[in-house]
Chains A and B, each alone.
Chain A
Amino acid sequence: MTATVFAMRVVTAVALVFVPLASQVFAAQLATRAEPGTPTTVQQPEPTTREGAIEQAQAVKAAEQHPYEPGKMEALADRAEDALVNGVPRLHPFFSSAYYGGGFTLGAGYAHFVTPFSMIDVRGSYTIRGYKRVEAEFTSPRLFKRRGALSVVGGWREATQAAFYGVGMNTSLDNRTNFDFRQPYGSATLTLWPTRKLLMLRGGLELSRWSQHSGKGGDPPVDAVYTPATLPGLGTKTTYVHAQGTVGFDWRTSPGYSRRGGFYGVTVHDYADPDDRFGFRQLDYEVVQHFPILREAWVISLRAEAETTYTKGDQQIPFFLMPYIGSGHTLRAFTSHRFRDTNRILFQGEWRISVNRFIDTALFYDAGKVTADRTDLDFNDLKSDFGFGVRFHGPFSTPFRVEVAKGSEGARLIVATTPVF
């Protein structure tokens, strides 16, 4: 036997015997309830009973006791939780831009409660393309014994380089022009839940003035390509009285996030132009249905939407208020407002996969078109895309989603702070 082998055996044997025995010794010491690291009390007499040993350890701790002090991370999380649960919203971020297509948006708001339930929120945002939005909203969420909510908004917005590619589906990305609009607006919206759930009624009245200007940015301004004769509403300044009413049946858990239930609604709009030039009516139909599968691990979520417009006599529908497809909420692989016309139809289907309680992934397919004639709202010649997305959500909201969509005009990355539907 070599010395090396002998040494290895010694080590092995000591380990085999010492470890279990040492752990027994350790356990015996633990039985005294001494805290790990507690120095053996040299000055104190050895206890003669188990109780005495425990009491000795308690006496040592009594000399060192101190109030609980949370660590930095814990204190930070506690402050965040307190703000989430008990906090009164005051200064807050605001990510809604003036108009789709503005790009990355930054904004802030300040809320102030004027009654225990009602508040005024003053907020503004600015986008990387220079879109601006400033508004104040009064919300009263507890009317008619909690059967109604009122929102009154007043504000102003400007989109400096909103896209217009022409009317209809047969346009090219190369046809892009930019337009600018500025719009002061004031509106009041009353939402009612007469039966507290399922049935939803909403009515709103808005007074606004659209001022359409020549667009900025790298693409040609819209007035360089079109004239008021070829493009309704070009260069116009129009005051609208916009009334709308919605009847809906909503049994989703929340519009912000749901794995079951549905929404079926119809909205009627009336855009009245006091100058009788650009008045029209619009009907929106929307159906959302979630089909849970395998105990909601999968959800097939479907949405169908149609918007139809109706002219008033010889009045025209301005191009900037025409129904459109193309955006992070419609045809996701197409740029914002890629297709505009007087009617639109949109179908969206998602296979949502619950990865865990906070994250869903989704494979999706969008299809839609815009038409000049309502009778053309069918399944023919639809533009479509498909893609994959990741959504971070809570029980009732989807505060962040990232998606990649691929369509006939390429792929797009969508980053949004609202659900697609």
Chain B
Amino acid sequence: MIWRLLLLVVALAVCTHVVSTARPQFYPDDPIAREPESQDASKAQPHSIGTLYEMANNLFVTSGYTPTGRRAQDINTIDEVPDSSWFTNRVGSTTVSLDDLARGPNRGAPPDPSRWTLTREKTSGAHPGFTAKDAKGETWFLEFDPPYFPEGATGAVVVATKFFWALGYNQVESFLTTFDPDRVDFDPNATLRRPSGARTPFTRDDVDAILERVARRPDGTYRVIAGRLIPGRILGGFLYAGTRPDDPNDIVPHEHRRSLRALRVFGAWTNLTDLKAANTLDTLVMENGRTVVRHILQDVGSTFGMSNDRYEWDLSWEHFYQADATRRRLFSFGFALSPWQTVKYVEYPSIGKFEGDVFDPRTWRPQTPTTAYMELRDDDAFWAARRVAAFTDDMIRTAVHAGEYSDPAAEKYLGDVLIKRRNKIASIYLTAVNPIVSPRLEASGRLTVDNAAFATGVASGPARYHAAWFRFDNATGDTQSIGETESTTATIEAPSALPTAADSFVAVDISVDHEGHPAWRRPVRTHFRRTADGWTLVGLTRLP
């Protein structure tokens, strides 16, 4: 035992020496609230990411990717994701009112659908549509519902847009509106690409060809979702791995962005199955006098039960190709059933195949895996689950109501399923790791934490909170034990030897003894800096 302790001290000395020759662990501005973008990105060039290569690569290469286990790199020192051109803290971080949620990303006025002038074919998305100018001359991307999902595709876009905006992602302003085929003009320069490769004028027959394949209202008009033209110079989609080589501010590999890893959880919640680069968009915009790249989740319409075909039974249960499932069905002649073959759906045409009873976020699968999807760690999932859990029932029903579903039962069902799935995500991911959050250390030496699992009601029962206290030298990284304290409540008294000098640091390892969750015994390491007003949290590491 003595030898082990000695070795421990030696090893600690070696390692802290490594730190001492590097930068301090905490800078004066930690934790940062916004990721800076210091460089001009105006040299970034448009390029398109081939869907075929991306899909093949993700299905056959990424699916075999071994996660690095590396901690997310877009987080600040308190384990949170600062605001950036990728992500803005909203639900779970700030107050998002029901009105905020109902408005979502929409800032400008909705389109004036009294007359549409068609300018081009639709350039993205699976469902039929046009690019058109409204009566006020503003350009919009119109998308219709397929006949087997009336109100479904359009409803999914508008509802999911609210959710993903609240979750922090840049979203396209999207409005439900009307397309009246009797009030359509053709831009004189409007053309369509024909099978011959030639572009010829847009004709009424082209409109009819699309309208024949979409859901029509009884009055002869069509419900459409109108997406506002995204400002800035379009650069193309982003990948879920690596960085843009032409964006100097893009220095965190995308697979190590927690905001992108978390799409595995957010995607599972909303059933966002189509995570391909073509559904994302980078744009070059001016912000604070500097040209920067803004990253947008452009198309979140493959959510809830929406798909390109009403019979895509395996969607969200399997990737488009999975070696294990392929082998199982091949050698069993299909007798080895997969869960998607037996799950029961209450299927509303406007919702599709979406359920919450058998759903398990750990076995949920997008169409193709991404590297960021593979890199999700328990602390990333915990972070994401807190945001999902932050949606109250009212918030969920408010967002769903924005879908303007004509069948109240469908609207209720969608809300019910989202609530069920939210609860499952919370119960699984908020209990998988030590769930203490928001540690506060009063000047008097009283440490209070919140327990995210208890707060959301996914765990209960007696718990004992332990705190191991250390003096912490920010310059060298040296730690020196002060003592250990514990409590049966979430408030723990510090030992009397807590330093009092300004700019001194303490490290506190906080663990929780709970009968049902042994994983909570793994301590969360927190760091506090002494200021004139007391102690300020500067560091939190849920998992190293």
A368–B30 Cα distance when bound, in Å, is 81
Asked if B321 contacts A357 (CB within 8 A), the reply is: yes
Q: Find out whether the CB atom of B4 lies under 8 angstroms from the CB atom of A354.
A: no
Residues B52 and A80 in contact, CB atoms below 8 Å apart: yes
Q: Which residues of B contact A119 (CB under 8 A)?
A: 195-196
Is B70's CB within 8 Å of the partner chain A? yes
Question: What is the 8 Å Cβ interface bit string for chain A, positions 266-301, against chain B (1 contact, 0 not)?
Answer: 000000000000000000000000000011111000
B113 on the A face (CB < 8 A): no
The residue of chain B having its C-beta at the shortest distance from the C-beta of A358 within the complex is B321
Point out the residues of chain B lying under 8 angstroms from A298, CB to CB: 334
User: Within 8 Å CB of A47, what residues of B?
Assistant: 23, 27
B249 touches A58 (CB 8 A): yes
Residues in B whose Cβ lies below 8 Å from that of A36: 253
| Contact flags A355-368 to B (C-beta < 8 A → 1, else 0) | 11111010100000
| A117, B71: Cβ atoms closer than 8 Å | no
Question: Are A61 and B39 in touch, CB under 8 angstroms?
Answer: yes
Decide: A65 near B329, CB < 8 A? Known: A14-B11, A49-B27, A295-B313. Answer: no
Measured CB to CB, the closest approach of chain A to B300, in angstroms, equals: 23
B197–A58 touching, CB < 8 Å: no
Contact indicator A81/B52 (Cβ below 8 Å): yes
| Contacting residues, chain B, for A73 (C-beta < 8 A) | 53
A190 at the interface (CB under 8 A from B): no
Q: Which listed residue, A21, A30, A54, touches B12 by the CB 8 Å rule?
A: A21
A65–B23 alpha-carbon span in the complex (Å): 26
A116 touches B195 (CB 8 A): yes
- Contact between A49 and B196, CB atoms less than 8 A apart: no
B329 touches A145 (CB 8 A): no
Q: Mark B182-201, 1 if CB is under 8 A from A, else 0.
A: 00000000000111111010
The answer to whether B8 and A13 have CB atoms under 8 Å apart is yes
Identify B43's interface contact among A65, A113, A115, CB under 8 A. A65
Query: CB-CB contacts of A38-62 with B at 8 A, as 1s and 0s?
Result: 0000000011111111110111011
**CA gap between A73 and B342 in the complex, in Å:** 39
Q: Which one of B246, B311, B325 lies within 8 Å of A66 (CB-CB)?
A: B246
Contact of B56 among A21, A62, A77 (CB under 8 A): A77
CB distance from A35 to the nearest CB of B (A): 6
Interface: A146 (CB within 8 A): yes
Of B194, B252, B334, the most chain A CB neighbours within 10 A belong to B334
B427 close to chain A: CB less than 8 A: no
List residues of chain A with CB within 8 A of the CB of B243: 35
Q: Is B7 in contact with A9, judged by CB distance below 8 angstroms? A: yes
| B50 CB within 8 Å of chain A | yes
* A29 sits at the interface (CB 8 A): yes
Chain B residues 300 to 353 lying within 8 A of chain A, measured CB to CB, are 309, 311, 313-314, 320-322, 325-326, 329-330, 333-334, 337-338, 340-341
Q: Is the CB of B321 within 8 A of A32?
A: no
**Complex contacts, A29 vs chain B, CB 8 Å:** 22
- Asked if A54 contacts B251 (CB within 8 A), the reply is yes
Q: What residues of chain A lie closer than 8 Å to B195, measured between beta carbons?
A: 88, 113, 116-117, 119
Residues of A within 8 A of B333 (CB): 353, 361, 363
Among A6, A65, A116, A355, contact of B196 (Cβ-Cβ < 8 Å): A116
Which of B204-212, B214-222, B513-521 is the interface stretch? B204-212
A356–B205 touching, CB < 8 Å:
no
Q: Once the chains are docked, how many angstroms separate the CA of A65 from the CA of B245?
A: 5
A35 CB contacts on chain B under 8 angstroms: 243, 251, 253
Is A229 located at the chain interface by the 8 A CB criterion?
no
Indicate which residue in A31, A117, A146, A354 contacts B194 across the interface (CB closer than 8 Å): A117
Interface of B is mostly: loop
**Range of interface residues on B (Cβ < 8 Å):** 35 or more
User: With A and B bound together, what is the CA distance between A36 and B51 in angstroms?
Assistant: 28
- Interface flag for A84 (CB, 8 Å): yes
Q: In the complex, which residues of chain B have a beta carbon less than 8 angstroms from the beta carbon of A27? A: 71, 541, 544
Q: Are B341 and A295 in contact (CB under 8 A)?
A: yes
Contacts of A28 in B (CB 8 A): 19, 22-23, 25
Please, which residues of chain B bring their CB within 8 A of the CB of A46?
Answer: 23
**Distance in angstroms between the alpha carbons of A117 and B22 in the assembled complex:** 67
Please report the C-alpha to C-alpha distance between residue A20 and residue B15 in the assembled complex, in whole angstroms: 10
Q: Which B residue sits closest to A22, measured CB to CB? A: B15
Return chain A residues, CB-CB under 8 Å to B329: 297, 353-356
- What per-residue 1/0 map shows which CB atoms of A73-84 lie under 8 Å from chain B? 110011011101
B526 → chain A closest CB, angstroms: 13
Determine whether A10 belongs to the interface, using a CB cutoff of 8 Å to chain B. yes
- Interface status of A391 (Cβ within 8 A of chain B): no
Question: Is the C-beta of A400 less than 8 angstroms from some C-beta in chain B?
Answer: no
Q: How far is the CA of A46 from the CA of B475 in the complex (A)?
A: 13
Given known contacts A31-B73, A34-B251, A356-B322, A62 and B39 CB-to-CB distance under 8 angstroms: yes
State whether B18 touches A25 (Cβ < 8 A). yes
Query: Which B residues are in CB contact (< 8 Å) with A59?
Result: 38-39, 248
- Write the chain B residue with the least CB distance to A259: B311
Dominant secondary structure at the A interface: mixed
When C-beta atoms are compared, the residue in chain B nearest to A115 turns out to be B196
Q: How far is the CB of A192 from chain B (nearest CB, A)?
A: 16
| Closest chain B residue to A6, Cβ basis | B3
Q: Is A23 an interface residue (CB 8 A)?
A: yes
Cα(A119)–Cα(B314), bound, Å: 38
Contact of B248 among A62, A117, A296 (CB under 8 A): A62
Question: Whose C-beta in chain A lies nearest to the C-beta of B334?
Answer: A353
Q: How far is the CA of A354 from the CA of B208 in the complex (A)?
A: 35
CA distance A338 to B341 in the complex (A): 42
B462 is an interface residue with CB less than 8 A from chain A:
no
Given the interface pairs A116-B196, A297-B334, the reply to whether A66 lies near B245 with Cβ below 8 Å is: yes
Question: Is B35 interfacial (CB 8 A cutoff)?
Answer: yes
Nearest CB of B to A228, in Å: 49
Interface residues of B in 219-237 (CB under 8 A from A): none
Are B248 and A65 in touch, CB under 8 angstroms?
Answer: yes
> Does B135 belong to the interface (CB within 8 Å)?
no
Instruction: Evaluate contact between B4 and A9: CB separation under 8 angstroms.
Output: yes
Asked whether A92 is an interface residue with its Cβ less than 8 Å from the other chain, the reply is no
Q: Determine how close the nearest CB of chain A comes to the CB of B472; give it in whole angstroms.
A: 12
Q: Using known A-B contacts A13-B7, A65-B43, determine if residue A33 contacts B326 with beta carbons closer than 8 Å.
A: no
Give A357 to B325 CA distance when docked, in angstroms. 11
Chain A contacts for B40, CB-based, 8 A? 62
Per-residue B-contact encoding for A230-263, CB less than 8 Å = 1, 0 else: 0000000000000000000000000000011000
Is B77 in the interface zone, CB < 8 Å from A?
Answer: yes
B289 within 8 A of A: no
CB neighbours of A10 from chain B (8 A): 7
Interchain CB contact under 8 A, A30 and B70:
yes
Decide: A113 and B11 in contact? CB cutoff 8 A: no
Contact A13 B4 (CB under 8 A): yes
Contact of A50 among B30, B50, B321, B541 (CB under 8 A): B30
**B212, closest chain A residue (CB):** A196
Q: How far is the CA of A61 from the CA of B212 in the complex (A)?
A: 51
Query: Which residues from B are CB-within-8-Å of A379?
Result: none
A227 interface residue (CB < 8 Å to B)? no
In the A-B complex, the 5 residue pairs with the smallest Cβ-Cβ separation, listed nearest first, are A113-B196, A116-B194, A77-B53, A62-B248, A81-B52
Contacts A53-B23, A146-B205, A353-B334 supplied; 17 other A-B pairs, CB < 8 Å:
A6-B3, A9-B3, A17-B11, A24-B544, A30-B70, A30-B71, A49-B27, A50-B76, A54-B38, A57-B251, A65-B246, A78-B52, A86-B197, A296-B313, A297-B313, A355-B330, A357-B314
Binding site for B on A (CB under 8 A): 6, 9-10, 13-14, 17-18, 20-25, 27-36, 46-55, 57-59, 61-62, 65-70, 73-74, 77-78, 80-82, 84, 86, 88, 113, 115-117, 119, 145-146, 196, 259-260, 294-298, 353-359, 361, 363, 395
> Which residues in B have some Cβ–Cβ distance to A below 8 Å?
3-4, 7-8, 11-12, 14-15, 18-19, 22-23, 25, 27-30, 32, 35-40, 43, 45, 47, 50-53, 56-57, 70-71, 73-77, 193-198, 200, 205, 208-209, 212, 243-253, 256, 309, 311, 313-314, 320-322, 325-326, 329-330, 333-334, 337-338, 340-341, 477, 541, 544
